[in-house]
Structure 1
Amino acid sequence: MADQSVFRITKELSELQKNSDLSLAVACRDIDVRNVKAMIIGPHETPYEFGFFEFSFKFGKDYPRKSPTVTAITTNGGRCRFNPNIYANGRVCLSILGTWRGERGEEWSAAQGLESILISIQSLMSANPYENEPGFEDANEAQDKKCQKDYVQKIRHETLRISVIQRLEEYLGVQPDGSVSTPVPNQEDYDLDMDVMDDDSSAPFEPFRDLCKRRFLWYYDSYLAAVKKGKEEVKDGQVFTRMPFEGSSNTMEGKFNYTELERRLRNIKKALDAETEGWAAEGLAAKTKDNTVAVNLQRQFEQVVQSFKDADIPHNIELEDGNPFVWNITYFGKPMTNLDGGLFRIKMCFSTRFPEEQPRVKFETRLFHHRISPDGTPCYFAPPTRREDAKSHIQAIIEALEEETPAYDPRTLVHPEAFKLFWGSAEDRRMYNRRLRRSVQQSIEDC
C-alpha cells in the first residue's frame, strides 16, 4: 500500500511539473515525496493578483484513500489571515480536506489529488473573498457591502507587502530601507522545513526562489498598477478594518502605506537588475576555471549558431566579450507580419547555477508588444522538460513574439497597456497594431 501511495504522489507531481500552468508550481526533495511544497500565483482581477502563496502538503501512507494535510505557509509568521478559509495559523478549510463541513458529494475521494486541491484553494482567491464566509448571504446588505470593499482593500495591500515584497526582499537580501545584505533564509520557512530535510542539509528548501524572481519581472508593472489603484482608494496611515469573522488571533491587522510599498517594489527591481548584471562577471570567472556550466553553455552556443546556419534562420547570435554566460541575439521581424522589417537586439543572461536558475532575457530594442514588459522582459514558456536547453528558450521567445492568434491568458499580462489594447475592442486592436508597427519602424531607424 505504501509503495502504491508513493507511486501515485510521484505521478501527480510529474504531471503537474510537465504542464504549462503558469499559476501552479509544485516541488519536493528527492528523499521524501510525501512532503511537498506548492505555489499558487494569485488570479488576475482579484486582490490576490500575482501574489506568491505557498503551501505545504503532507501525504500519509493511506493516500489517496485519505486526503493530505495542507498548511498555508504565507501567513506573515502566523499574523495574517488571507481568506475566511485560510487561517493565520495555516489551516486551510476545505470540505475535500475534511477541514470544513460540505454538502454531500463534496467530501474527499480517491479520484481527487494534488492538482484538484490546488485548484480548490485557488478558487478561494476570488474577486470578492468576503463571500467565502459562512452566513454571508444573511448579512446586512449595507454593512456587508462596506465590509466587502474594506476586505478587498486590505488583502490587496497585504498580498503586495507579504506575499511579494517580503518574499523577494528575503531572496535578494534587500532590507525594507533599501540597503542590501547577504540573503538569509526566512526562519518561519526554516522551521516548517525541518521535518522534510535530510540529515546533510543545513538550509531550508526554497524551490520557488528563481520562479518568483522571474515572475516578479513579468508582473512588476501590474504591481505598480495595484499600488496606484490602492492610493486612489485609501490614505497612507489608515488602519485596516477588522472583519466580523476575524478573531483576536486569526485576523489581518495593520495600516495602509502604499507609498512605502512602491518604494520597496522599486528597490527590488533595482536589486534584480543588479543581480542579473552580476551574472556576467561570475560567468567570466567560471569560464577561466573551465566550470562545467561554462563549458556546457559554450558548447550549446556553438550548436545553436550552427543549427541556425543549417536551417538558414536569419537571426544572429553572438557572445558578449566571449562570455558564454551572455548571449546577444539579433532578431529579424518575420516577413508578412506586423514585425516585418524590424531589427531587435535581445540579451540573454545565464547564471553560473543554470539551469536551477533560468536565463533572464531582455529586449534592448524597445518593442510595443503584449508579451514584452515595458522594460523589455519577455513573457515566454520554455518547455518544462527542456529547461537546460538554451535553444528551446530562444525558440519559445520567438514563438511568443510571432504568435498571431494566441488564446486569451491573463497570466501573460506583463505589459498592462499593450495587453488591454490587444484584447480590447476592434478599435483597440487597431491601435495596438499601429503602436506595434511604429515601434518596429523605430527599431529600423535606430540601427
Structure 2
Amino acid sequence: MSNQSILRITRELGEIQRGSDLSLAVACRDIDVRQVRALIIGPPDTPYEFGFFEFAVKFTKEYPTKAPSVTAVTTNLGRTRFNPNIYAAGRVCLSILGTWRGERGEEWSSAQGLESILISIQSLMSSNPYENEPGFEDANSDYDKKNQEAYVAKIRHETLRISVIERLEDYLGIGQERVPGVTVHNVEEDYKNGTEKLFEPFKDLCKRRFLWYYESYLQSIEREAKRHKDGDRFEKMPFEGPGNSMDGTFQYSSLKERLQAVYEKLNEETLSWAIEGQTTVQKEMSIASNLQRQFEQIVENYKENNDSITLDLELVDKNPFVWQLVIFGRPMTNLDGGIFRIMIYLSPKFPNELPRIKFETPIFHHRISKNGVLCYNPTRKDDMKSHIESIIEAIEEESPAYDPRTLVNPEAAKLFWGTADDKKIYNRRLRRSVQDSADFC
C-alpha cells in the first residue's frame, strides 16, 4: 500500500475519533491501519436503538480509488440477518461499496471515505427496514403492513439480546448457553475461536454506553413484553431464506433479568477499581502517581481560578482512583443554590478505560439517569481536567443542540424537548431537585 493511501486512511480514522458523533467509533491495531474495526450505535426511534453493531473494514492498496470491503461482525455467529441489506454471513449490500447495483451517481468515488460508508450503513437502520428489500419499497398492503410490524418487533428483540446483552455478558464473563454446531464462517466466529488474535477495541465504550442507556433498554423491554408473550415465534419475512434470516422466539422476561444482571455486574466492576487502585499505589505503579499528580494540579488550578466556578475536589481515603467532586450551582442559573456530590471512579487501565461518573445527589436532568449516571464526552480522554470540565459543561448547558444519544433520562428528556408547557414542568422539577440537593450533602 502506498504511503499516500496509508496517510489517507490514518487521517480519516483520526477525524472520526476526534469528531463529536456519538454514534460512530473506529479503531485499528498500530501495526496495520488497513484492518479497521468500526462500531455503529443504532439510531434512536428505530428497532436498532442504542444497539452495538460492529463491522470489519479492509482497505486495499487501491484505496481511495477502490472502496474497502466491509463485513458485518454482529451476526450472532452467522445465524442472524439484522437487515435486508446486512446478511447473516456478514455481507453488506450497498451501491457505495459496489456490492449492490445502484443508480447513477450512487457508486463509489475517491471523494467518499470511511465516514460516508458508515453513515450509509447507519441509514439502513431505519424505523421501517422492511422497505429496504428491493421490491418492497412501496409495499402498503395489509399483508405488508402486518409484516412490517412483525419485522420491526423481532429486530428490536434481537438488537437487545444479541448486540447489547450478549455482547456485555461476554465482556463481563457472565455465562450463558450458546447454540452448538455453528458452521457458518464469519469474522465474529474467527475471533471467538482464536483463529484471529482477539481485538476488542470497543469494550470500554460499550460498557459506558450501556450505563448511559440502561433505562432506555429497560423501558423498551417492559413495553415490548406487554405486546409479545414469552415463547411466541418470530414471523418469517417473504425475503428471508435458509441460513439468511432472523429466527427465534420472544423471551423478554429472560432479557430483563439478564439486562439487570449486566447492570449489577458493571456496578461491581466500578467499585472494584478502588481496591485495584490501592494495590497499584502500594506497588508504586506509574498510573497511580500520574493520577495523583493530575489531581493535585486540578485542585491548584481551581484555587487560582475560583471566579469561574465553585467546587470542591478530594480523594476518597487518599485513593487516587476514587475522586469526590462537589459542585456548587452558579448564581442566576437553574442550578443556583444546588450542592451536588459526584463520585468519579477511575480504572487502573486509565485512559484505556475511562472514568465512570455517579451523581450521589439526586437531580432531575436530561443528561443524568435516574440511577445517577452522567452522559458526558470529554475532549481529551487522558486528561482528568478535561473530564471535570466536561462534567460541569454537561449539567450546566441550558440550551443544548438536540442530540437524542445524550438523553439518558427518558422522562426528563421528553419534557425538556417537548412543548413549552412540558419545558416549564421540566424546569420546575429540576429546580425542586436543586433545592433538595443540600439534604443529601
For structure 2, which runs of at least 5 residues remain unmatched after alignment? 178-186
Single out whichever of 186-195 and 336-345 deviates more from structure 2. Answer: 186-195
Q: Where do residues 188-203 of structure 1 align in structure 2 (5 Å cutoff)?
A: 188=189, 190=191, 194=195, 203=197
Partner of 2:302: 308
Q: TM-score, with normalisation over the residues of structure 1?
A: 0.94
Partner of 1:216: 210
Partner of 2:360: 364
Q: Is the contact made by 2:74 and 2:188 (CA closer than 8 Å) also made in structure 1?
A: no
Single out whichever of 361-370 and 140-149 deviates more from structure 2. Answer: 140-149
Shift of 1:325: 0.3
| CA deviation map 1:230-289 (0-9, x unaligned) | 112211110000100000110000000111000000000000000000000000110011
The answer as to 2:376 corresponding to 1:380 is yes
Taking the aligned partners of 2:233 and 2:30, their CA distance within structure 1 comes to: 45
Taking the aligned partners of 1:132 and 1:115, their CA distance within structure 2 comes to: 21
SS at match of 2:205: helix
For structure 1, which runs of at least 5 residues remain unmatched after alignment? 178-185, 196-202
| CA deviation map 1:35-68 (0-9, x unaligned) | 0000000000000000000000000000111100
Distance 1:423 1:107, change over 3 A: same
Partner of 1:324: 320
Amino acid at match of 1:188: E
Distance 1:276 1:189, change over 3 A: farther
Q: Is the contact made by 1:176 and 1:264 (CA closer than 8 Å) also made in structure 2?
A: no
Partner of 1:441: 435
Amino acid at match of 2:344: M
Partner of 1:230: 224
Give 4+ residue runs of structure 1 displaced > 3 Å after superposition. Answer: 137-140, 191-195
Partner of 2:289: 295
Q: Is the contact made by 2:131 and 2:138 (CA closer than 8 Å) also made in structure 1?
A: no
The answer as to 2:142 corresponding to 1:142 is yes
Amino acid at match of 1:415: N
Partner of 2:92: 92
Amino acid at match of 2:71: T
Q: Is the contact made by 2:40 and 2:53 (CA closer than 8 Å) also made in structure 1?
A: yes
Taking the aligned partners of 1:187 and 1:116, their CA distance within structure 2 comes to: 24
Shift of 1:446: 3.2
The answer as to 2:261 corresponding to 1:261 is no
Taking the aligned partners of 2:376 and 2:323, their CA distance within structure 1 comes to: 17
Q: Is the contact made by 2:77 and 2:188 (CA closer than 8 Å) also made in structure 1?
A: no
Single out whichever of 408-417 and 130-139 deviates more from structure 2. Answer: 130-139
Taking the aligned partners of 1:435 and 1:253, their CA distance within structure 2 comes to: 44
| CA deviation map 1:118-144 (0-9, x unaligned) | 000000000000010100146461100
Shift of 1:436: 0.5
| CA deviation map 1:166-187 (0-9, x unaligned) | 000000011249xxxxxxxx97
Q: TM-score, with normalisation over the residues of structure 2?
A: 0.95
Q: Is the contact made by 1:193 and 1:205 (CA closer than 8 Å) also made in structure 2?
A: no
Partner of 1:119: 119
What is the RMSD of the two structures over their aligned residues, measured on CA atoms? 1.4
The answer as to 2:333 corresponding to 1:337 is yes
Which of 397, 412, 423 lines up with 1:418 in the alignment? 412
SS at match of 1:34: strand
Q: Is the contact made by 2:131 and 2:139 (CA closer than 8 Å) also made in structure 1?
A: no
Partner of 1:431: 425
